[in-house]
Structure 1
Amino acid sequence: MKPIVKILLTTAVAAALAACGTSAPPNTAKTKKRHAAVARSVQPVRITHIDRTQAEQELMLQSMGLVGTPYRWGGGSTEAGFDCSGMIQFVYKNALGVNLPRTARDMAAASKKIPDSRLKAGDLVFFNTGGSSRYSHVGLYIGNGEFIHAPSSGKTVQTEKLSKPYYAKNYLGAHTFFY
């Protein structure tokens, strides 16, 4: 191996190892910049090949069948339980065959923000519930001012009203994947 290549490889490995051992504390400017860069790298998800009415029905059936499933941070299956984004990812995959990003933040980045007046069943509703990301919680809108979600540890997948004070106060808006 040529000496210059060996030096470059050694430097790259050392830099990678050093990066693994360091991380910025949550909510620092460096962390926020990194989160913004990740959000920019998320590919948009656009659903144009599925009839919207049929998609709404499939998403509703799939999501309502999950009511009562235990919450589990990082969970994404009926056996393991669900966190909020794991539930959304599961529902879209099983109802429509559509792969979504894993986190609420990345789902927000991959979708299109819409006014509440255009909110339809199957669209996503986002909240800032005090997590490390502005988009720290997500639910699936089911109509009539209600959404279904996996709320938090110790609870189960359930429906809620958007007008409930806690959710109304933390509501960030609606997004869609349908074009």
Structure 2
Amino acid sequence: NLMHAAPAVTHPTGRTPQLAALVLRLWAVGWVAVAVALMLQPDLAAPGWPAAALLGAPLLAGAALAHWWWAQRPRRLSWDGAQWRLGAGAPNEGDDAALQRLEPRLDLQWALLLRASGVEAGRSRWLWAQAGRDAAGWHLLRCAVHAGAPAPAADLGEGARA
């Protein structure tokens, strides 16, 4: 009894206002942690490396989050029933690249953080996809992401028939 492959779907990825709000919230949590640490350990505010580390950590994290958010260019993620492809934001721009692997790393139901491998030699790319006005398309994307690529016939096991 073989599972049916997920249907073909194309969905946009990239930065959104909701992603910006999420990134800002994460950064704010870092600053709240600094404030709590300073309230519990006032000595940390004294000049020296502990103070520099305490204040530098959320600054570096904020810079990294801002860089990651900015790198989330608009793209099209497509599943044809057998392979994932990643293309430019507009359908007529071409340059679709086949992905070796697409892994969901965070599923918030309304958004997905995906790790795409095979875009460039030896590199992975993080993609942000979220629900839009097309609820049916969002459902199809989530089904395809969680279904994964179908196993080749050789991997079905001994005695299995395709």
The TM-score range, normalised by the shorter chain, is under 0.3
Q: Greater CA radius of gyration, 1 or 2?
A: 2
Structure ranking higher in strand proportion: 2
* Higher relative contact order, chain-length normalized (CA < 8 Å, sep 6+): 2
